[in-house]
Amino acid sequence: MKHHYDVIIIGAGLAGLRAAIELGEETKVAVISKVFATRSHSGAAQGGIGAALGNEEEDSWEWHMFDTVKGSDYLGDQDSIEIMTQDAPRTIYELEHIGVPFNRTAEGKIAQRAFGGHTSGFGKAAVKRACFAADRTGRVILDTLWEKSLQRGIRFFDEFHILSLIVQDHQCCGVTAYEIATGEIHVFHCKAVLLATGGAGKIFKTTSNALASTGDGMAVAYRAGAPLEDMEFVQFHPTGIYKLGILISEAARGEGGILRNNEGERFMERYAPTIKDLAPRDMVSRCILEEIRAGRGIDGKDYVHLDLTHLGQEVNDSKLAEITGFARTYAGVEPNKEPIPVQPTCHYMMGGIASNADGQVVLDSQGSTFAGLYTAGECACVSVHGANRLGCNSLLDTLVFGRRSGKEIRKFIHSIGLPPIAEDVAQQEKEKLQILMDRPGDENYGAVLAEMQAVMMDKVSVFRTQASLKEALEKIRELQQRFTRVSVGDRGNCFNRELLDVLELDNMLDLAEVIAAGALFREESRGAHFREDFPTRDDNKFLVHTLAGYRPEKEPQIFTKPVTITRFQPQERKY
């Protein structure tokens, strides 16, 4: 089936929906998502969204900007960070106006709480900057934006999986997608495509991410010639529930929760004397693993305790209701009385499709753009998070840059007509899928997936070395070879989950290779990327963004582009 639209948005999380709302009234826009919109992973965001409203204590967007730059270990582009932090208060008011039910202060203003790495006075003390709705902030914003888009009459294609971008004469003019309920291939012919497909945490064994977080948008863009930027920077959130990886929000520490080792010691005091447990995530994750390495994990195992017992039932059961529920259900502990067992869990991709602050996909270090192709949210790299994202900046990123992408797309589509596309696009995709379905396979999809997740966790997570990364790359290439022998046993056309699993695995294998290759290239330690063989930051050689270009049947081509530095010169990063 063939469809004609002005704009196709892939992904129905916050970035995609915010862009759709921006475009909805005067353009023909459709949102394609492999899960029903409110199942999108934005809904799992718990703790809050950052903006210097100053409702609880003095704050300024310049402090927010400084914190974000410092949090990024000076790799974030400061022009984009300035745009984001300056636009943050307006973004929050806009959400409030369309109905987001934020918690309130005694005066009825939007309530705010402390979060990791957010400070006043350029690093002097922790500040309350996170706007929140209990610990379900992402969920209520997602619901509100989705309902707003229903009001706007935006067309949704739910449970459609993206297969490829349609690119003609270096211009993106559509996508092909697989309808999960029928197996039919659809061609969406349009003037502009926005990729807003979120992250790819499922590449790692332990993750807070959803089953759907498989980086599909990043992978299709990469294969269509868009470079991926800074993919080696993968955030491990310090507090995932032991063994399960389910997120326990930083809001738990923002409300006063404390990390303790097997001696009951508040060990973060030693590592970050000023802001202690509210140090940024990259640091806290490394500190937890250092404690475990030093034999101070609980019961000699690879986890520590997150202690909320002193916060009181009132706080735990209202402001932290979801996460204390998770602790009860999944860890079997009563957080009012016992500490929660936690360990770092793969949480967020700082890297993504290289883009500028207007959502345009960028091809090279000169800033040339990919006509008709846009991206926003976690699958994009603007870059506002650099080497390490601060808590509460991801939701902000999706909304600020989702909106800006929408505005830029509107300008673009008014300037062009619908470009022609080849007649046989659907047929080509059909043949590719048929080959996948028909190939005689002696490899098991589940085994290849599990081995990829294991090697990425063992060799490419918080601590990395040249040797571990080389081993990982070798293993990933072996798995890519084995993948060509994975077959699909399910012959059906209706909810053929196995086929989708295989398509997702193909995407993840490409991304895993880029992550490991970038990490091997970057011989320094910065933010979430820590090389034990190069334990310090090297601004002379590596104050640059890594770009990875796709080469069929070859390893990715790694090149770099400069970091934009405006207000804050790189300094040593201490908390």
Partner 1 sequence: MKCQFTVFRFDPAADESPRYQEYRVDAEPTDKILDCLNKIRWEQDPTLAFRASCSHGICGSDALTINGHVGLACQKLVRDYKTANNFVIEPLPLFKVIKDLVVDMNPFLEKHRSVKPYLINDEPPPEGERIQSQKDQTVIEPALRCILCASCTASCPISRSNPDYVGPAALLRAFRYVYDSRDTATGSRLAGLDGNDGAWGCKTMWWCTDVCPKGIPVTRCIGQIKRAIKQKDKKP
- Least gap, CB of 55 to partner 1 (angstroms): 8
- Of 123 and 325, nearer to partner 1 (C-beta) is 325
Q: Among the candidate windows 34-42, 184-192, 345-353, 421-429, which touches partner 1 by CB under 8 A?
A: 34-42
Residue 503 CA to residue 500 CA, distance in Å, equals 5
Give the per-residue contact string, 289-328, with partner 1 (x = CB under 8 A; - = no). --------------------------------xx--xx--
- Of 335 and 527, nearer to partner 1 (C-beta) is 335
What letter represents residue 250's amino acid?
E
Give the per-residue contact string, 101-120, with partner 1 (x = CB under 8 A; - = no). xxxxxxxxxx----------
Interface with partner 1 (CB under 8 A), residue from 4, 124, 170, 329 = 329
How many of the other CB atoms lie within 10 Å of CB of 279?
24
- Of 326 and 575, nearer to partner 1 (C-beta) is 326
Residue 58 CA to residue 81 CA, distance in Å, equals 20
Main-chain phi, psi angles of 113, to 5 degrees: -140, 170
What letter represents residue 398's amino acid?
T
Q: Among the candidate windows 35-43, 298-306, 423-431, 556-564, which touches partner 1 by CB under 8 A?
A: 35-43
Q: Does 93 bind partner 1 (CB under 8 A)?
A: yes
281 is a catalytic site residue: yes
Question: Can you state the angle between helices 497-521 and 445-459, rounded to 10 degrees?
Answer: 30
Q: Are 165 and 172 in contact (CB under 8 A)?
A: yes
Give the per-residue contact string, 5-24, with partner 1 (x = CB under 8 A; - = no). --------------------
Q: Does 403 bind partner 1 (CB under 8 A)?
A: no
What letter represents residue 239's amino acid?
T
CA-atom Rg of the chain in angstroms: 22
- Of 139 and 526, nearer to partner 1 (C-beta) is 139
- Of 93 and 122, nearer to partner 1 (C-beta) is 93
Q: Are 238 and 251 in contact (CB under 8 A)?
A: no
Interface with partner 1 (CB under 8 A), residue from 1, 98, 125, 454 = 98
- Of 176 and 496, nearer to partner 1 (C-beta) is 496
- Of 334 and 532, nearer to partner 1 (C-beta) is 334
- Of 121 and 492, nearer to partner 1 (C-beta) is 492
Q: Are 436 and 502 in contact (CB under 8 A)?
A: yes
Q: Does 435 bind partner 1 (CB under 8 A)?
A: no
Residue 218 CA to residue 571 CA, distance in Å, equals 32
Q: Among the candidate windows 94-102, 266-274, 380-388, 460-468, which touches partner 1 by CB under 8 A?
A: 94-102
- Least gap, CB of 48 to partner 1 (angstroms): 15
Distances (CA, A) of 84 to 98, 165, 325, 501, 573: 20, 28, 33, 35, 22
Distances (CA, A) of 560 to 240, 363, 563: 33, 11, 10
Q: Does 212 bind partner 1 (CB under 8 A)?
A: yes
Q: Which of residues 140-199 bind partner 1 (CB under 8 A)?
A: 140, 143-144, 147-148, 150-151, 181
Q: Does 439 bind partner 1 (CB under 8 A)?
A: no
Interface with partner 1 (CB under 8 A), residue from 56, 62, 79, 96 = 96
Give the per-residue contact string, 246-285, with partner 1 (x = CB under 8 A; - = no). x---------------------------------------
- Least gap, CB of 97 to partner 1 (angstroms): 4
How big is the chain, counted in residues? 575
Interface with partner 1 (CB under 8 A), residue from 99, 121, 264, 367 = 99
- Buried b / exposed e along 527-565 (16+ C-beta atoms within 10 A): bbbbbeebeebeeeebbbbbbbbbeeeeebebebbebee
Main-chain phi, psi angles of 184, to 5 degrees: -75, 145
Q: Does 79 bind partner 1 (CB under 8 A)?
A: no
- Of 36 and 122, nearer to partner 1 (C-beta) is 36
Contacts of 69 (CB under 8 A, 6+ apart): 76, 78, 81, 386, 567, 568
DSSP secondary structure, 57-72, as one string:
S---HHHHHHHHHHHT
Give the per-residue contact string, 486-525, with partner 1 (x = CB under 8 A; - = no). --xxx-xxxxxxx--x------------------------
Q: Does 330 bind partner 1 (CB under 8 A)?
A: yes
Q: Are 378 and 401 in contact (CB under 8 A)?
A: no
Query: Which is it for strands 125-131 and 49-50: parallel, antiparallel or unpaired?
Result: antiparallel
Interface with partner 1 (CB under 8 A), residue from 1, 211, 422, 454 = 211
- Least gap, CB of 518 to partner 1 (angstroms): 28
Residue 93 CA to residue 103 CA, distance in Å, equals 13
Query: Which is it for strands 49-50 and 530-531: parallel, antiparallel or unpaired?
Result: unpaired
Q: Among the candidate windows 114-122, 301-309, 390-398, 485-493, which touches partner 1 by CB under 8 A?
A: 485-493
Q: Using alpha carbons, select from 363, 365, 353, 364 the residue that is nearest to residue 401.
A: 353
SS3 85: helix
Main-chain phi, psi angles of 484, to 5 degrees: -65, -10
Task: Tell me the two tokens of residue 317.
Answer: 């059961």
Q: What is the dihedral of CA 138, 140, 145, 150, to 10 degrees?
A: 140
Total number of residues that touch partner 1 (CB under 8 A): 61
Q: Does 136 bind partner 1 (CB under 8 A)?
A: yes
Distances (CA, A) of 368 to 102, 359, 380, 498, 520: 40, 13, 16, 38, 27
Ramachandran area for residue 155 (φ above 0: left; ψ -120 to 50: alpha; else beta)? beta
Catalytic residue (choose from 139, 253, 281, 526): 281
- Least gap, CB of 147 to partner 1 (angstroms): 4
- Least gap, CB of 302 to partner 1 (angstroms): 17
Binding site for partner 1 (CB under 8 A): 35-36, 38-41, 43-44, 92-93, 96-99, 101-110, 133-134, 136, 139-140, 143-144, 147-148, 150-151, 181, 210-212, 244, 246, 321-322, 325-326, 329-330, 332, 445-446, 488-490, 492-498, 501
Residue positions annotated with a catalytic role: 281
